[in-house]
Amino acid sequence: MSKIGRLLCVRLASRIGLVVGILFGILLLVEFLDTWRFGLTADVAGPWVATWLAVLSAVRWSLLALPVTTTIGAIVGLIDLHSHREMVIISATGRSIWSTLKWPLAMVILSGVVVVTIADSVAIRIYQQLDAAEIGWGRAYSLGDRAVWYNQSGDDGRYVIYARTALGGGAELREVSIFRLLDSGARGARIHAESATLQDEAWLLRSGTILDVDQPARPFDSYLIATDATLSELGLQVGTAEDMSWFDLRELLQHGVTDPFAKAAAETRFQKLNALPALLSGSLLIAFAFTSGYRRAGHYGWTIIAGIGLGLLVFMITEMADRAGSAGVLSPIIAAWAPALTAIIIGLSVILRKEDGRV
């Protein structure tokens, strides 16, 4: 890496890091100011767990807002370079904007890969160890009823499981009721049990009763009912796709997901993580497009507003596409990659227009 490339990377990385740090501090303050949720979590899991969940919540929201903070931080860094006439000197050496962009772009792409594979995965792993989804700290960040419904199928046919409480990522259920899904007019059994535990391709029910319409109730100590579900798929239904790392999602999708809504959410989240380096690249290109040009008077007000506004617009489009993809309305690949490609095209178009004029 050349000295110019090192200067640009250090300056931009420091300013982007500063913006991310400020946003993290604001989010952390908001989490601690919500004393009702913090107190309720402390009552359920203890004060230290509540503190960790608040910190991790701020971390994950900061990661979610990376496209915007990258744009703002890069704009701040480029203005700083202009204010010290460093960008003028770089241009005077005969370097084109593309040569100047090379190393910062590589830095942003590498940072995106690190965020997806390490930072986000570590935060989610800690979330899982703290049983965040079971306490109620998923993407929605709300405490509520922990009852769950599972649509299941296996060698014993199709059925629905209702449980008052789900533990262990959805593999341990309490106060369970099972309803078989039969053809119209068919008669089947209903099962109630104190607990159900997921084993190899089966649910193990304990201390329950089998109820048939034409037979007396039959109590049992243990009972097996076959299922095709996996622990990862159950965890996805208990929490959200946002509570799963890139590695968990890849493994889950390789084994297959039977629930179409859970599958759409998992595929959209997986493709969104894959597209993050490209989305951050588009954010950096937008910052360069609206800030890298020389200003004799040094006035960047409207340019900064336009760049930040465009960055926020890309973020909003990304989140709307994420909702559409998770709901199965839009293809997960389109929902994840279209905003990233749009940001890249906008940034490249503006840079080409400023550098080469009309074609």
Residue 162's CB is within 10 A of a number of other CB atoms, namely 15
Q: Where do we find the tokens 């008077």?
A: 297
pTM over 0.85: no
**172-180 vs 157-167, strand pairing mode:** antiparallel
Span 292-335, pLDDT tens digits:
655 555 566 676 777 778 778 888 888 899 888 888 888 999 99
Report the pLDDT value the prediction gives residue 187, as an integer from 0 to 100: 59
CA distance 148 to 239: 10
CA distance 359 to 355: 11
Span 21-41, pLDDT tens digits:
999 999 999 888 888 877 877
Span 191-218, pLDDT tens digits:
899 999 888 888 899 999 988 777 788 8
Q: Residue ranges of the alpha helices (H) in the chain? A: 3-33, 35-45, 47-64, 66-83, 86-92, 97-114, 120-129, 132-135, 231-238, 246-255, 260-291, 301-326, 332-356
Span 258-295, pLDDT tens digits:
677 778 888 899 999 999 999 999 999 988 887 765 55
Report the pLDDT value the prediction gives residue 143, as an integer from 0 to 100: 33
